[in-house]
């Protein structure tokens, strides 16, 4: 199976590159399933139904969210109506968070893909339940090779150590563990010893002439003065599409190939060979 995951979409430049390049990549790489992290797509803060539909039209099969899941009020009801949206699984039961933190998707040929999103706790503004413990119940319901032909885990968190620990914790039990949230693509795409593909952060889809997708002047001012300054706004120059491509063995569900994807904008282009 051929899978792709694209990192946090930030504002209009991120939306533009997803809509421009994703249809081409689906054909070029013969992608079977595509996940896009879309939690910053609406002006840098959250997601709307209209934007989600644009991503689905471009070729996304599933949209993951994160700590900005509820920035747009409409998401509270929209996520209940569309099972293709996945928010962090490890909200405590007392939160009664709407939507799902994991789901299983059926491909047209009958193969099944599981998607799980977890939110880390180290340096994060929200404290959710322990993602390492919550993961186990989800994996029990979508066992690789028995229930799902492939499983993708989006580990949405700040600390690289927490992401790497999750990768090793899942090794041999899922197809891909990929980090989101920090918006900077890392250079450590690899196959772990148990056969799980891993990347610490897929990077953002957005304008890299910025501070993690936001106008650089606003961020520099805050660091210089420690004052709030103006509200953060997305940078609006040309965007770069960032993500990861994974190929799996249908007999095992484990990865045989993992490569980064970068297209457009300021970063060096990296496109896997078909």
Positions marked catalytic: 68
Q: Whole-angstrom Cα distance, residue 39 to residue 86? A: 10
Q: Is 19 helix (H, G, I), strand (E, B) or coil?
A: helix
Beta strand pairing status for 255-263 and 241-248? antiparallel
The CA distance from 216 to 77, in Å, is: 33
Q: What gap in Å lies between CA 27 and CA 30, rounded to an integer?
A: 5
H or E stretch at 163: helix 160-170
Alpha-carbon torsion angle 251, 255, 256, 257, nearest 10: 150
Q: Among candidates 227, 224, 250, which has minimal Cα distance to 2?
A: 250
Q: Is 170 exposed, middle or buried (0-12, 13-18, 19+ CB in 10 A)?
A: buried
Transcribe 88-133 into DSSP letters: -TT--GGG--SSBSEEEEE-TTS-EEEEEEEE--TT-SS--S-HHH
Residue 267, Cβ density class (10 Å: 0-12 exposed, 13-18 middle, ≥19 buried): middle
Nearest CA-CA partner of 71 in 160, 11, 153 = 11
């Amino acid at each position: 199976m051929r899978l792709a995951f694209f990192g946090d979409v930030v504002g209009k430049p991120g939306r533009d590159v997803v809509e421009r390049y994703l249809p081409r990549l689906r054909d070029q790489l013969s992608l079977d399933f595509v996940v896009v992290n879309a939690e910053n797509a609406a002006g840098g803060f959250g997601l709307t139904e209209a934007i989600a539909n644009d991503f689905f039209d471009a070729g996304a099969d599933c949209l993951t969210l994160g700590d900005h899941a509820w920035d747009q009020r409409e998401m509270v009801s929209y996520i209940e109506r569309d099972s293709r949206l996945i928010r962090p699984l490890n909200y405590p039961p007392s939160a009664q968070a709407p939507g799902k933190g994991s789901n299983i998707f059926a491909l047209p040929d009958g193969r099944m893909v599981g998607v799980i999103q977890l939110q880390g706790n180290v340096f994060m503004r929200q404290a959710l339940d322990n993602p390492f413990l919550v993961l186990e119940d989800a994996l029990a319901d979508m066992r690789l090779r028995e229930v799902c032909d492939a499983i993708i885990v989006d580990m949405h968190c700040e600390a690289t150590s927490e992401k790497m620990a999750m990768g090793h914790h899942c090794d041999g039990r899922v197809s891909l563990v990929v980090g989101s949230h920090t918006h900077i693509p890392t250079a450590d795409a690899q196959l772990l010893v148990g056969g799980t593909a891993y990347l610490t952060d897929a990077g953002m889809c957005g304008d890299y002439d910025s501070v993690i997708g936001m106008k650089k002047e606003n961020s520099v001012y805050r660091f210089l003065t420690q004052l709030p300054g103006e509200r953060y706004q997305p940078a609006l120059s040309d965007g770069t599409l960032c993500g990861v491509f994974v190929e799996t063995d249908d007999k095992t569900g484990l990865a045989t190939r993992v490569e980064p994807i970068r297209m457009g904008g300021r970063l060096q282009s990296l496109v896997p060979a078909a």
